[in-house]
A and B are shown apart, each in its own frame.
Chain A
Amino acid sequence: MSIEHRDDTGARFGMWLFLYTEVILFSGLFILYAVALSKFPAQYSEASHKLNIYFGSINTVVLLTSSLTIALALSAIQMNRIRQCLNLCWVTVALAIVFLINKYFEWSAEISHGIYPGSPELAEMGAGVASFFNLYYFTAGLHGLHVLIGATLISIVAIMTAKGKVTSDRFTLLENSALYWHLVDLVWIFLFPLYYLIL
Chain B
Amino acid sequence: MSESTTYTGFWQESPRPGILGWLLSTDHKRIGIMYLACIVTMFIVGACLGLALRLELIAPGRTIMDAQTYNATFTVHGIIMIFLFIIPSVPAAFGNLVLPIQIGARDVSFPKINLLSWYCYVSGAILAVFAIFSGGGAPDTGWTFYVPFSTQTTTNVNLAGLAAFMLGFSSILTGINFVTTIHRLRAEGMTWGRLPLFVWTLYATAWIQVLATPMIGITLVLVILERTFGAGLFDAARGGDPILFQHLFWIYSHPAVYIMILPGMGVISEVIPTFARKPLFGYWAMALSSLAIAFAGSLVWAHHMYTSGMSDFAILVFSFLTFIVAIPSAIKIFNWVSTLYKGSIQLAPPMLYALSFIFNFAIGGLGGLALGAAAADIHLHDTTFVVGHFHYTMFGGLGFAFFAALHYWLPKFTGRMYQHKPAVIAWAIVFVGFNITYMAMQAVGIQGMPRRYYDYVPEFTTLNQVATFGSWILAAGLLMMFVNLWLGCRAGDPVGKNPWGAATLEWEVPSPPPLENFGEEDPVVTRGPYEFKGVVADEY
Contacts and interface: CB of A to CB of B under 8 A. Distances in A.
A3 interface: yes
A142 B412 CA distance: 45
A117 B218 contact: no
Nearest to B516: A3
Overall SS of chain A's interface = helix
A36 B214 contact: no
B15 interface: yes
Interface stretch (B32-40, B235-243, B340-348, B484-492): B235-243
Interface string B80-115: 000000000000000000000000001101110100
B480 to A, nearest CB: 39
Interface string A21-35: 110111111011001
A80 to B, nearest CB: 27
Interface in B372-392: none
Interface string A100-126: 000000000000000011100001001
Contacts of A20: 210-211
B232 interface: yes
A98 B512 CA distance: 55
B179 A1 contact: no
B218 A14 contact: no
A119 to B, nearest CB: 9
Contact of B232 (A7, A14, A21, A131): A131
A46 to B, nearest CB: 13
A35 B113 CA distance: 36
B231 A28 contact: no
Contacts of B179: 13, 17
B222 A10 contact: no
Contacts of B218: 25-26, 28-29, 142
A7 B182 CA distance: 13
Contacts of A134: 231-233, 238-240
B177 interface: yes
Interface string B350-386: 0000000000000000000000000000000000000
Contact of B244 (A5, A32, A129, A130): A32
Contacts of B248: 28, 31-32
B217 interface: yes
A177 B229 CA distance: 32
Given A127-B239, A131-B239, A135-B233, A21 B26 contact: no
B113 to A, nearest CB: 8
B176 interface: yes
Contacts of A35: 241, 244
Given A17-B180, A28-B219, A138-B231, A2 B237 contact: no
B129 interface: no
Given A1-B107, A7-B184, A14-B177, 4 more contacts: A2-B516, A13-B179, A17-B210, A142-B218
26 contacts: A1-B26, A1-B106, A2-B516, A10-B109, A10-B180, A10-B184, A14-B109, A20-B210, A21-B172, A21-B214, A25-B215, A26-B218, A28-B214, A29-B218, A35-B244, A36-B241, A117-B229, A117-B230, A117-B232, A127-B238, A130-B232, A131-B239, A131-B240, A137-B231, A138-B233, A142-B221
Interface of B: 15, 26-27, 106-107, 109-111, 113, 172, 175-177, 179-180, 183-185, 210-215, 217-219, 221-222, 225, 229-233, 237-241, 244, 247-248, 515-516
Interface of A: 1-3, 5, 7, 9-11, 13-14, 17-18, 20-22, 24-29, 31-32, 35-36, 39-40, 116-118, 123, 126-132, 134-135, 137-138, 142
